[in-house]
A and B are shown apart, each in its own frame.
Chain A
Amino acid sequence: MKDMSEGYVTADGRKIGGVLMEMKNITLRFGGVVAIKDISFDIREGEIRAIIGPNGAGKSSMLNVISGFYIPSEGEVFYKGSKRPQMRPYQVAQQGIARTFQNIALFEGMTVLDNIMTGRLTNMKSNLFQQALWYGKANEEEMANREKVERVIDFLEIQSIRKTPVGRLPYGLKKRVELARALAAEPSLLLLDEPMAGMNVEEKEDMSRFILDVNDEFGTTIALIEHDMGVVMDLSDRVVVMDYGKKIGDGTPDEVRNNQDVIDAYLGVAHD
């Protein structure tokens, strides 16, 4: 693997920066089950980083560690150059890490617009009293946030469903709204847990395009989990491969594709 301490340039000419997030010797146990075994890897400024592996490999667990939903049994997390103390998920979110969930976690009773507006909460500064009095600053802030949210809505082409309660949307659109909510936070790091799972081919293509566009237009660093090798190879700059909680490969898609351990792991498992 080439030396990348100062960042690198991708095949399509995008500049990747220094380390944004580093996971060091992460181990995660649930009682007797070891979901993650001593894994280290980093995510760099501006890149699309994929985590792949068969079902049950520990991918979601890893994302949950990054976003603070799981507390690692061992290991350290470095973010923006400093060691991160143990944090609650909402604190991680306030640090600029937004995420989506494998099983979609939206506010089903709220409209698409309101759902996406919640994504702005971490960026809102006015306090309860200013809010209560609908005081100048709170008002301005609400307007500025509405504007940002409308831009995300345009970007993801969901104008027509802005006022629809999320509970009524089909699965594919829900996934898109969840991405919109995460994007609304203008995150430094965007975590996507199987953004294309359960979608048809057309929806998958749309979602791939959105992910690439987000990275391209806003320069957002993205870590995504995908089950399907093919999709990942097209999207990502670097790939971590997990199997049974262990890291069995790490590198560019080409490097990973030709890694014997990875080939074995994938041959041993039927895709679904």
Chain B
Amino acid sequence: MPDQLLFAMEVTLNGLMAGVLYSLVALGFVLIFKASGIFNYAQGVMALFAAMTLVGIQKGQVPFAHLINALLGTEVHHFGWHVPSILAILLTAGVMVVFAWIVERVVLKHLVNQPDIILFMATIGLAYFMEGFGDLMWGADIKKLDVGLPQGINIAIDDTTFGWFGYGFFIDNLDIVATVIAILLVISLTVFSQYSKQGRALRAVADDHQAALSVGISLRFIWVLVWSIAGFVALVAGIMWGAKSGVQFSLSLIALKALPVLMLGGFTSIPGAIIGGLIIGVGEKLFEFAIGPLVGGATENWFAYVLALIFLVFRPQGLFGEKIIERV
């Protein structure tokens, strides 16, 4: 097999794995958008916040240590214990539920029936608030996230492909794990929404608020539920990204990558978010591989947006989105 083709295959595989992460973040957006019509600008910051909280809990960090020390003149920083990864992840999930509940209480509840743009603005405010709050709670330093996920090149794949093609594919174990977890997450979300009572209620609310009320569904409960789920999804994305590149502010910017994914996949479609993420992931890696050298590289910064814009011209509702019809 020609070398170029082998390189392209390897790049495609790596692109798919990067795409999984985009899909995850986009999924968080779609869930909230479907259920409440809110474009949640804070989704990326939620991932950052979740990752920070996880690291903080794991290391036994005292929350708000700086604030406490400044106010009381103390010097506390750590509880002096270390929480096992699994427990820390569960506790963080719990924190995300509490967060969802607070968002509903403090923000959403007061903005029911407001125009979408107001709700969108509210989530921008929320994003900035959370960013500052996260720093205050856990400190603004760059943190290393390690929950024991395998890292480094996968030797088996390297060897096998070398045996087949005389060229070993370089695939990171972390990417493989991320992909498997993302697939499991999507399967469990699908099963949940198709077969559980709450899932059915969630789909009902996403479809028609008035009808949902008439069959006894509390919108506020559903909102807490979807924000919690979006919080879990953010946590998973935060763990993956954090394990790869450390927990720092740039993590919240993955949300910006989710935007072209959503334009491609449609804002209301869960399969759309997944496939859109994969297309962007593969597309930008392949483009960088094929065209990058000709134009001086760094195409990954803009490729996704250009692709999404071109796409918008031809299919504004995205690949899977519902056709946009103004109701009159």
A residues lining the B interface (CB < 8 Å) = 67, 69, 88-91, 93-94, 98-99, 101, 105-110, 114, 117-119, 121-122, 124, 126, 128, 131-132, 134, 138, 142, 181-182, 185
Contacts of B218 in A (CB 8 A): 88, 90-91
5 example contacts (A-B, Cβ-Cβ < 8 A) are as follows: A90-B219, A107-B208, A122-B216, A134-B195, A185-B216
Interface stretch of the complex, out of B42-50, B156-164, B196-204, B249-257 = B196-204
Interface presence of B114 (CB below 8 A):
no
How far, in angstroms, from A94 to B200 measured CA to CA in the complex? 17
B214 and A89 form a contact (CB under 8 A): yes
Contacts of B195 in A (CB 8 A): 134, 142
Contacts of A107 in B (CB 8 A): 203-204, 207-208, 211-212
How far, in angstroms, from A108 to B206 measured CA to CA in the complex? 10
Residue of A90, A93, A122 ringed by the most chain B CB atoms within 10 A: A90
Interface presence of B102 (CB below 8 A):
no
How far, in angstroms, from A69 to B211 measured CA to CA in the complex? 11
Q: Do A110 and B204 contact each other (CB < 8 Å), given the known contacts A105-B211, A121-B197, A132-B196?
A: yes
Inter-chain residue pair count (beta carbon < 8 A): 84
How far, in angstroms, from A118 to B205 measured CA to CA in the complex? 11
Contacts of B212 in A (CB 8 A): 90, 107, 118
A114 and B200 form a contact (CB under 8 A): yes
Interface presence of B217 (CB below 8 A):
yes
B210 and A105 form a contact (CB under 8 A): yes
B215 and A109 form a contact (CB under 8 A): no
How far, in angstroms, from A89 to B207 measured CA to CA in the complex? 17
A67 and B203 form a contact (CB under 8 A): no
How far, in angstroms, from A122 to B201 measured CA to CA in the complex? 11
B interface: dominant SS: helix
How far, in angstroms, from A108 to B212 measured CA to CA in the complex? 12
Excluding A110-B207, A122-B215, 14 further A-B contacts by CB distance (< 8 Å) are A88-B218, A90-B212, A90-B216, A90-B217, A91-B218, A98-B215, A105-B208, A105-B214, A106-B211, A109-B206, A109-B207, A118-B212, A138-B196, A181-B215
Q: Do A108 and B207 contact each other (CB < 8 Å), given the known contacts A117-B200, A131-B197?
A: yes
How far, in angstroms, from A181 to B198 measured CA to CA in the complex? 17
Q: Which 4 A-B residue pairings sit nearest by Cβ, starting from the closest? A: A93-B216, A105-B211, A122-B216, A107-B207
Contacts of B198 in A (CB 8 A): 128, 131
Contacts of B306 in A (CB 8 A): none
CB distance from B212 to the nearest CB of A (A): 8
A93 and B197 form a contact (CB under 8 A): no
Interface presence of B192 (CB below 8 A):
yes
A110 and B203 form a contact (CB under 8 A): yes
A94 and B216 form a contact (CB under 8 A): yes
Interface residues on B, range: 20 to 34
B218 — nearest CB in chain A belongs to which residue?
Answer: A90
CB distance from A89 to the nearest CB of B (A): 4
CB distance from A7 to the nearest CB of B (A): 29
Contacts of A67 in B (CB 8 A): 214
Interface presence of B9 (CB below 8 A):
no
B215 and A121 form a contact (CB under 8 A): yes
Residue of B198, B203, B215, B217 ringed by the most chain A CB atoms within 10 A: B215
A67 — nearest CB in chain B belongs to which residue?
Answer: B214
Interface presence of B213 (CB below 8 A):
yes
Contacts of B217 in A (CB 8 A): 90, 118, 121
CB distance from B199 to the nearest CB of A (A): 8
Contacts of A109 in B (CB 8 A): 203, 206-207
How far, in angstroms, from A91 to B212 measured CA to CA in the complex? 12
CB distance from B321 to the nearest CB of A (A): 12
A118 and B192 form a contact (CB under 8 A): no
**Quick one: which of B158-204 are within 8 Å of A by CB?**
192, 195-198, 200-201, 203-204
A118 and B196 form a contact (CB under 8 A): no
A104 — nearest CB in chain B belongs to which residue?
Answer: B211
A93 and B213 form a contact (CB under 8 A): yes
Residue of B197, B208, B210 ringed by the most chain A CB atoms within 10 A: B197
B197 and A88 form a contact (CB under 8 A): no
How far, in angstroms, from A138 to B215 measured CA to CA in the complex? 19
A93 and B214 form a contact (CB under 8 A): yes
CB distance from B218 to the nearest CB of A (A): 5
Contacts of B200 in A (CB 8 A): 114, 117-118, 121
Contacts of A108 in B (CB 8 A): 207-208
Residue of B192, B210, B211 ringed by the most chain A CB atoms within 10 A: B211
How far, in angstroms, from A118 to B196 measured CA to CA in the complex? 11
Q: Do A118 and B201 contact each other (CB < 8 Å), given the known contacts A88-B218, A106-B208, A107-B207?
A: yes
How far, in angstroms, from A121 to B192 measured CA to CA in the complex? 15
How far, in angstroms, from A126 to B218 measured CA to CA in the complex? 16
Bitwise, B2-14 to A at CB < 8 A (1) or not (0) is 0000000000000
Contacts of A99 in B (CB 8 A): 214
